[in-house]
Structures are given as structure tokens and as C-alpha cells.
């Protein structure tokens, strides 16, 4: 083949890649798996192998499904196999039906740890141990009250009023349990409450709710100025007594109602309570109200995006991230920073989310080497996406088989504040280490899938040699293969010894348009700056 003038200096094959999938699959186009990108002082970019998981501790009860981890008061607490562990010692049993737990803590005379999974909630402290938080129950029968009817809500007086619920009949003189309160009263009936909490009118249709947290609550806690808050499935935020999450004031509630819709998750940012519903998000602050809920709305802070799943909500370095939906059904990833929400998912990531399986979702906050990631796993789609909040770039993380990364929860270690990770299947805890080049019994597999490269011309190109600017490490091997038919088929892998002073891949044939897959799975560190090519361009 006749050749044009040879290129005097080698050019770089583009290895700094972003996810560019053309559809809902990751099988085509450029992507980076188990690596991250960093910019050098020179302005050049470099790809690092991500750090690996290093064993930290395991539950004393043996391998069990991981369901949450949290560091509090200098100790690590983890839920695994229906047990709450303090360190490696079980301190009690908990519910397993609600998936991964969310945690909070409060001050008070006896500081307490709170944990809840949307089904059950618990307090833990060194004095009382693990105690389930009582769930409120409503004595009721069929029928609904008009929301325009005044509702009595306080057994001590008739001063408290609330929205209606369903009704039941209580006859004259029925004793209302101490601490319970009336949440509805039938139309046209006058009712008085005496000092002994007796219903003195006859045949009054009412509902009585016992004290406690909502029976159906969503995941997420928010502790603000001494009050712990939970939100129920109807979008009502309930608060406890001051620094006492064992007692929940029946009058301390606020309905999130700028727009109708069920509650999905509760979170906190700065000094604000964030209520995420299915179609929008509202923000509240401590208004110091003397009666009812202390909370007041932050006017103008409403976000017209809701939350798809509470399990996607995660705080990373003070910013809030979640899998968001709007009334049109689209799905994307949102970030809230200083109460300002913005979309951070790229069009390629949106395409992955557009047809994803959201049945099981995990989210993590990962901090390592000056980088902080929001990590989102969609188990049903066998996909883990990682957003580097430092560089604002997306990549994929995977296990040694190329499947989703099997980590369900994260916290940090006491004292050293390293990221602490919990494994899905055995509940073991791990930290991250750049010295770990394998994890969970398999090597970390770094895959760089480049974009299709044509050199700006449709002419044939002859690639005489590829030179790799990577860390020179004995035993480090780079596997290389290519596709000349738009990612449909691939050549066999060829190996390059990165321990050599000038690692190169000779005799790479000719192409019009080509994509490369560079793979590293050696038990060594890996860092690569560029792949230089000695290329000749044909005349046709």
C-alpha cells in the first residue's frame, strides 16, 4: 500500500475516556472500569487503578448479609444477619425485611444511636442496650373524615387540632390509654376530655392513636437542634421530645404539602431538614415554633425533582446525592450543594438509567487520596457507577468478574477516618488501600475501553508500534486488544511487560477506525499517562 509521509513524532492514542454508551448497555463505546482520572501539574491527565478493599473486621456470628454500618462514639456499629454488632460483638437482634439501615444519633443525658430500615426503628445506648422504638397504632374502622372538620389531637385539652384520619366508635366513658391522643372526631359531634382522659360524650366516632413513631415511615433520619425527625409514607415529618428519641410528641408534626405525593426519604444538609418525596423535594429549618413542629419551610428552596429510592440517598462531604425522578418519569442523578440542586448525570449515564432495574439499590460515600466518590449500585442491572466529586467525572466499578461491586454500605473508621465498607453477602467490613491490588479473592480488573479513533481521516492507517507511558513495575502486565468493527468483535489479547524501560506493542496492522481495550489485572500498582503510536497514513 502506498504511504503518505510518515508522522515524525508519535501521537497519543486517547486513553482518557468517559462513559459514552450509545444506549442502555455498557457493551459499546468508551468507558473506564475500576480506575479514576487525575490531572497532573503539567496539565496532562493520568489513569490510576482504584484502591482495593482491605479486611478490617468481621461479625462474630459468622458470614451474614450486610445491612448497614455506622461509626458512633469511637465504635463501629454494623448490622449483619439480623444482629446489631458493636465492633464484632452482637448487642441485639433487629429486623431484616427492610434492607440496609440508616443511622443517626442524639445527645441528651444518655446519648443514643438510632437505626431504622423503614419497617422498624431502634435506639441503642450503653445503659439500656438495644430497644425497639414503639410504633404508633391507630384504633379505627372504615370511613374517612372530611379534612375541613376540626380534629381534636391532645388528650390533655381540646387545644390541639390536626387533619382527619379514619374513624371508630368509642362509647361514653371509654378510657383513652395514658399518652394516647385523639386524631379525629365525627362531624357535628361535640367532645370534651376530662382530667382522667375519658370520652364524656356518647356514641362519638373517633380514632385514637397511641404514642410512638409513624407505623409506616421512610428511610432516613434528621437530627437538628436536639430534635430527631422521621417522615412517614404520607409525607408528614414527626419529631421526638428534645434529645429523647424514646418519646415522640404527638403534636410535633408537619405535613410536607407544597405538592401532593408520598414521602420517600428524609435527609439533612447544613442546618436543614431535606424531605424527598416522589415528585419534588422540600427544605425546612428550625423556626423555633413554640407549639407543634419546630420546623418552618425554607421559602424558595423547593426542588422540582423527587426521589426514586431512599437507598440512593447519600451525603458525600456535605453534599447530598440521590437518584431523582420528575413528574414526566425521567431518571437522573441530582446533587444538592448549599441547598442548590443540580443535575450531575451525563447523557450517557442517563441512558443507562433510562432502562435500568431499580429493584435493589445501594449507595456509598467513598473517600480516598483527595478524591470523594458517590457510588451507586443497581444490582438488577449488574452495574455500579461512581461519580468522582473532585473531578466531576463518571466511571464504573466492578468486582473481579466484571459484575457489580458488592458493597452495600459505608461509614468511616474511628480515629483515622478511613472509608469503611460493608460487603453484601458476608457482612465483613473493609477499608480501602492502594496496596491492595486484589479484593474478595480476585484481582482488581482495570479496563480502559477507548473511543473509536480514525486520526481525522478515512484513509487506511498502519500502526507500527504503540509505546506505553506507564509506571515501570516488575511483574506488571498490560493486556491489549482491538476492535475494527465498532465494538462488535475483538482481537485476541496481546501482552505488554510494563516492567521494561520502554514497554511497546509492535506490528498492530492497519485500520480505518479502531478502538482499543487496555486491561490490567496484575497484582501490582498501575498508573498510565499515555499510549504513543508510531503511525503511517495511507494515500487511500
Task: Note whether 165 and 137 are within 8 A (CB).
Answer: no
Q: How far apart are CA 416 and CA 32, in angstroms?
A: 30
Query: Which residue's C-alpha cell is 446519648?
Result: 111
What is residue 499's predicted lDDT score, i.e. its pLDDT?
97
DSSP 311: G
**How far, rounded to the nearest angstrom, does the alpha carbon of residue 124 sit from its chain's CA centroid?**
24
Q: How far apart are CA 332 and CA 343, in angstroms?
A: 7
Output the CA angle 411-400-528, nearest 5 degrees: 90
Q: How far apart are CA 77 and CA 411, in angstroms?
A: 10
Output the CA torsion sign for 6, 12, 18, 24: positive
Q: How far apart are CA 510 and CA 140, in angstroms?
A: 78
Residue 511: all three cell numbers together: 485500520
DSSP 529: E
CB crowding 417-450: b at 16 or more within 10 Å, else e:
ebbbbbbbebbbbbbbeeebbebbeebbbbbbbb
Q: How many residues does the chain have?
A: 540
What are the strands, taking DSSP E only, across 424-476?
429-433, 438-439, 442-443, 446-449, 461-470
> Three-class SS string for 246-277?
CCCCCCCEEECCCCCCCEEEEEEECCEEEEEE
* Helix, strand or coil, per DSSP, at residue 485: coil
Under 8 Å CB-to-CB from 355, ≥6 apart: which residues? 24
* Helix, strand or coil, per DSSP, at residue 312: helix
* Helix, strand or coil, per DSSP, at residue 381: helix
Task: Note whether 104 and 95 are within 8 A (CB).
Answer: no
How many Cα neighbours within 13 Å face the side chain of 167?
21
Q: How far apart are CA 483 and CA 481, in angstroms?
A: 7
**pTM for the whole thing?**
0.87
What is the Rg, in whole angstroms, of the alpha carbon atoms belonging to the chain? 29
pLDDT per residue rounded down to tens, the chain (540 residues):
444 455 445 688 999 898 999 999 999 999 999 999 998 888 889 999 999 999 999 998 889 999 999 999 999 999 999 999 999 999 999 999 999 999 999 988 899 999 999 999 999 999 999 999 998 776 543 333 333 223 333 333 333 323 332 234 344 444 444 455 555 444 444 444 333 344 444 334 445 566 688 888 999 999 999 999 999 999 999 999 999 999 887 778 888 877 778 999 999 999 999 999 999 999 999 999 988 899 999 988 999 999 999 999 999 999 999 999 987 778 999 999 999 999 999 999 999 999 999 999 999 999 999 999 999 999 999 999 999 999 999 999 999 999 999 999 999 999 888 999 999 999 999 999 989 999 999 999 999 999 999 988 888 999 999 999 999 999 999 999 999 999 999 999 999 999 999 999 999 999 999 999 999 999 999 999 999 999 888 766
Strands 371-378 and 138-139: unpaired
Q: How far apart are CA 428 and CA 420, in angstroms?
A: 10
DSSP H helices, 337-492, are 347-354
**How far, rounded to the nearest angstrom, does the alpha carbon of residue 221 sit from its chain's CA centroid?**
14
Q: How far apart are CA 352 and CA 394, in angstroms?
A: 12
Q: What φ, ψ does residue 257 adopt, rounded to 5°?
A: -140, 25
Q: How far apart are CA 102 and CA 124, in angstroms?
A: 14
Q: How would you list the strands of the sheet with 83-86, edge to edge?
A: 66-72, 75-80, 83-86, 89-93
Burial of 491 (0-12, 13-18, 19+ CB in 10 A): middle
* Helix, strand or coil, per DSSP, at residue 396: strand
Q: How far apart are CA 351 and CA 404, in angstroms?
A: 18
Task: Note whether 35 and 50 are within 8 A (CB).
Answer: yes
What is residue 153's predicted lDDT score, i.e. its pLDDT?
34
* Helix, strand or coil, per DSSP, at residue 244: strand
Q: How far apart are CA 438 and CA 520, in angstroms?
A: 12
**How far, rounded to the nearest angstrom, does the alpha carbon of residue 295 sit from its chain's CA centroid?**
26
Task: Note whether 331 and 356 are within 8 A (CB).
Answer: yes
Q: How far apart are CA 254 and CA 241, in angstroms?
A: 15
Output the CA angle 140-250-158, nearest 5 degrees: 80
Q: Note every long-range contact of 345-349, with CB atoms under 8 Å and residues 24 or more positions apart, other chains counting.
A: 345/394, 346/18, 346/19, 346/394, 348/18, 348/19, 348/20, 348/21, 348/29, 348/394, 349/19, 349/385, 349/394
What is residue 540's predicted lDDT score, i.e. its pLDDT?
63
Amino acid at each position: 500500500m502506498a504511504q503518505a509521509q510518515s508522522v515524525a513524532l508519535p501521537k497519543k492514542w486517547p486513553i482518557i475516556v468517559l462513559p459514552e454508551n450509545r444506549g442502555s448497555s455498557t457493551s459499546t463505546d468508551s468507558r473506564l472500569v475500576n480506575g479514576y482520572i487525575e490531572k497532573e501539574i503539567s496539565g496532562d491527565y493520568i489513569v490510576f487503578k482504584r484502591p482495593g478493599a482491605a479486611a478490617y473486621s468481621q461479625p462474630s456470628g459468622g458470614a451474614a448479609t450486610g445491612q448497614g454500618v455506622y461509626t458512633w462514639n469511637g465504635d463501629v456499629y454494623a448490622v449483619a444477619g439480623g444482629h446489631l454488632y458493636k465492633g464484632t460483638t452482637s448487642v441485639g437482634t433487629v429486623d431484616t425485611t427492610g434492607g440496609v439501615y440508616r443511622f443517626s444519633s442524639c445527645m441528651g443525658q444518655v446519648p443514643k444511636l438510632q437505626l431504622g430500615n423503614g419497617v422498624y426503628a431502634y435506639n441503642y445506648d450503653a445503659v439500656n442496650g438495644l430497644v425497639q422504638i414503639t410504633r404508633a397504632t391507630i384504633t379505627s374502622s372504615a370511613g374517612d373524615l372530611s379534612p375541613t372538620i376540626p380534629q381534636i389531637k391532645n388528650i390533655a385539652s381540646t387545644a390541639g387540632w390536626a387533619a382527619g384520619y379514619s374513624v371508630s366508635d368509642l362509647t361514653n366513658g371509654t378510657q383513652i390509654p395514658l399518652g394516647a391522643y385523639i386524631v379525629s372526631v365525627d362531624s357535628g359531634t361535640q367532645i370534651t376530655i376530662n382530667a382522667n382522659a375519658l370520652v364524656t360524650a356518647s356514641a362519638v366516632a373517633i380514632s385514637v392513636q397511641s404514642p410512638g413513631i409513624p407505623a409506616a415511615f421512610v428511610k432516613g433520619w434528621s437530627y437538628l437542634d436536639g430534635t430527631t425527625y422521621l417522615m412517614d409514607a404520607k409525607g408528614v415529618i414527626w419529631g421526638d421530645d428534645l434529645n429523647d428519641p424514646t418519646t415522640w410528641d404527638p403534636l410535633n408534626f408537619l405535613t410536607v404539602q407544597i405538592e401532593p405525593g408520598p414521602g420517600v426519604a428524609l435527609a439533612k444538609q447544613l442546618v436543614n431538614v431535606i424531605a424527598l418525596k416522589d415528585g419534588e423535594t422540600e427544605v425546612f429549618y428550625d423556626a423555633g415554633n413554640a407549639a407543634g413542629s419546630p420546623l418552618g419551610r425554607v421559602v424558595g428552596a423547593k426542588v422540582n425533582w423527587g426521589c426514586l429510592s431512599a437507598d440512593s440517598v447519600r451525603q458525600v462531604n456535605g453534599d447530598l446525592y440521590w437518584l431523582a425522578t420528575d413528574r414526566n418519569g425521567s431518571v437522573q442523578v441530582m446533587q444538592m450543594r448549599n441547598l442548590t440542586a443540580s443535575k450531575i448525570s451525563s447523557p450517557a449515564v442517563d441512558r443507562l438509567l433510562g432502562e435500568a432495574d431499580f429493584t435493589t439499590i445501594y449507595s456509598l460515600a467513598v473517600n480516598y487520596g483527595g478524591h470523594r466518590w458517590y457510588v451507586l449500585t443497581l444490582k438488577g442491572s449488574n452495574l455500579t457507577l461512581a461519580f468522582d466529586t473532585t473531578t466531576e467525572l463518571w466511571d464504573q466499578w466492578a468486582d473481579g468478574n466484571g459484575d457489580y461491586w458488592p458493597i452495600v454500605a459505608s461509614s468511616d473508621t474511628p480515629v483515622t477516618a478511613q472509608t469503611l465498607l460493608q460487603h453484601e453477602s458476608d457482612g465483613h467490613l473493609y477499608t480501602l488501600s492502594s496496596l491492595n491490588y486484589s479484593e474478595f479473592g480476585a484481582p482488581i480488573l482495570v479496563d480502559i475501553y477507548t473511543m473509536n479513533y480514525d486520526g481525522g481521516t478515512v484513509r487506511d492507517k498502519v500502526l507500527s508500534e504503540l509505546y506505553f507511558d506507564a509506571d515501570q513495575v516488575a511483574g506488571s502486565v498490560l493486556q491489549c486488544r482491538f476492535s475494527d468493527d465498532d465494538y462488535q468483535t475483538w482481537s485476541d489479547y496481546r501482552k505488554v511487560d510494563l516492567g521494561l524501560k520502554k514497554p511497546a506493542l509492535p506490528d498492530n496492522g492497519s485500520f480505518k477506525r479502531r478502538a482499543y481495550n487496555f486491561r490490567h489485572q496484575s497484582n501490582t500498582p498501575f498508573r498510565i499517562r499515555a499510549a504513543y503510536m508510531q503511525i503511517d497514513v495511507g494515500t487511500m
